[in-house]
Structure 1
């Protein structure tokens, strides 16, 4: 086997290997949890990629699954050790485990496809826009420190836009996203100008779904689909709901449904060549 260096790819491969090993032995998740004296939720988090797995826990699982080949055990151990390294883990104090897991995968993707009906996608937000959104969403008891940390995390996330091997990114946003004023007028103007500039980058495509497209089935459902260049690594679907659901090819029918929805939205959206002129017209309307 060739060891992937990327922590998120290691985690993807490890979670798949552990799940397949359990199924091959005919164990349910409840069976494994009882045998290890764990809660079922612990195994769910490990197999779902929401947490890393310690070397001790990994060895216990491999013994239960009767996986004793030294080369295989060594490879899985290396994956587990690499998977626990994450550059964004410093923000675990202000990001949910589910969203942090998604962000780790996002940074390893080859292709990103995102539909957003409500907000400018986080990867494309200016600091001023991000601050206005985070302030609006923050519970009343949130401290200034927490808000600042969340803004810092969002800006750090955008480092992938500037990497030489940045993924291809295809964004479709509803026209209402661009017309809803978030923050002050100058905040929104700067955000729109930033979007226009980002749309000119060779690896970023931004399309606008106009009001004239009418009603459609994804009006209320933002989602992201991540593709990876590595072989035998499943595509991932992230549903931006309160739970932050993260689904892979084991949920193949649902993933295929959302991919078909993205193609449908793409066919209804304005061509990428119209993005700049549409944004300029909206900026003009703002005065």
Structure 2
């Protein structure tokens, strides 16, 4: 039975935001201004601006199809864009989209690239900080039936994503709370682990990157096994535009990924991150631990 609160809850902004990013990227690939694109599909400039900014709450599927046709988007991604338009009507406060998007049209990658700040809790090295060999070992283990070329394409995509952390202009502000188990869980081989841990120690020196290990000695935060999560924070993309609301991403692994938008849920994960942070090692202690663990992998046995 639908409650009154459910009926009054606003439609989710997440599908609209992802659809807007996709449409803007496709327009820019085609070298079109908003004015030109709007004229070609018989839309007003303001309507297309609202679509691209994720602020248009009344999205017509025929407009999405017309834009995709003009931008020469293939049939698969056009269908996914239309599905996003349909999802934009939903009044749910979370979305499980697993498998809906191709790598090029991935919900999380689009959000990550648009974020200003990330707080990550993980029990393996997160993708933005993985070395190529570490990434390849993980991807190969998950996509066991994929071809060599497909694996390499996925590895390359992961490496390209990392530019948002290392770029000189306006890099992502990244805080990683890494469980100590990530240092001891063998991924690939001992050399891969050694190189990966030394890479973490070095990249943590960047002013926009904070890495702190949550040690075994800290026990279980809140007395539960809460699993990995990412809190994505956004700024406005123009001086006069307010920031997009934050989102929590819960990676589904073999099942669906989940995105939480409800303010109370996001605050809950902010509180959880603060509790983990309170018992984590300091940055210098973390660097020392990473180097010691790397040295252990380098010893011959």
Normalised TM-score (structure 2): 0.65
Determine if contact 2:194/2:293 at 8 Å carries over to the other structure. no
- In the alignment, the residues of structure 2 paired with residue 27 and residue 245 of structure 1 have an alpha-carbon distance, to the nearest angstrom, of 19
Return closer, same or farther for 1:160/1:28 CA change in 2, 3 Å cut-off.
closer
Which of these residues, 197, 201, 211, is aligned with residue 206 of structure 1?
Answer: 211
Which of these residues, 113, 133, 142, is aligned with residue 137 of structure 1?
Answer: 142
Cα distance per residue 1:250-279 (max 9 Å; x no partner)? x11111111110000000100112111111
- In the alignment, the residues of structure 2 paired with residue 200 and residue 178 of structure 1 have an alpha-carbon distance, to the nearest angstrom, of 18
Alignment of 1:1-287 (within 5 A): 46-47=15-16, 49=18, 72-77=46-51, 79=53, 97=101, 100-117=106-123, 119-139=124-144, 141-163=145-167, 164-217=169-222, 219-230=225-236, 231-241=242-252, 242-248=255-261, 251-286=262-297, 287=299
Cα distance per residue 1:96-125 (max 9 Å; x no partner)? 6287121112112111100002x1000000
- In the alignment, the residues of structure 1 paired with residue 13 and residue 207 of structure 2 have an alpha-carbon distance, to the nearest angstrom, of 39
- In the alignment, the residues of structure 2 paired with residue 115 and residue 271 of structure 1 have an alpha-carbon distance, to the nearest angstrom, of 15
- In the alignment, the residues of structure 1 paired with residue 201 and residue 10 of structure 2 have an alpha-carbon distance, to the nearest angstrom, of 50
- In the alignment, the residues of structure 2 paired with residue 78 and residue 245 of structure 1 have an alpha-carbon distance, to the nearest angstrom, of 23
Cα distance per residue 1:205-256 (max 9 Å; x no partner)? 00001110112356351111111121141111111123111222xx111111
Determine if contact 2:248/2:266 at 8 Å carries over to the other structure. yes
Cα distance per residue 1:109-142 (max 9 Å; x no partner)? 111100002x100000000000111111114x32
Determine if contact 2:214/2:279 at 8 Å carries over to the other structure. yes
Return closer, same or farther for 1:189/1:109 CA change in 2, 3 Å cut-off.
same
Secondary structure of the corresponding residue to residue 207 of structure 2: coil
Secondary structure of the corresponding residue to residue 138 of structure 2: helix
Determine if contact 1:134/1:147 at 8 Å carries over to the other structure. yes
Per the TM alignment, residue 49 of structure 1 is displaced from its structure 2 partner at its CA by: 3.2
- In the alignment, the residues of structure 1 paired with residue 146 and residue 290 of structure 2 have an alpha-carbon distance, to the nearest angstrom, of 34
Return closer, same or farther for 1:28/1:262 CA change in 2, 3 Å cut-off.
closer
Cα distance per residue 1:61-89 (max 9 Å; x no partner)? xxxxxxxx9674353255479x98xxxx9
Gaps of 5+ in 1: 1-24, 30-42, 56-68
Per the TM alignment, residue 180 of structure 1 is displaced from its structure 2 partner at its CA by: 1.2
Determine if contact 1:109/1:226 at 8 Å carries over to the other structure. yes
User: What do you get for the CA RMSD once the two structures are aligned?
Assistant: 3.5
Secondary structure of the corresponding residue to residue 119 of structure 2: strand
Determine if contact 1:120/1:173 at 8 Å carries over to the other structure. yes
Determine if contact 2:20/2:52 at 8 Å carries over to the other structure. no
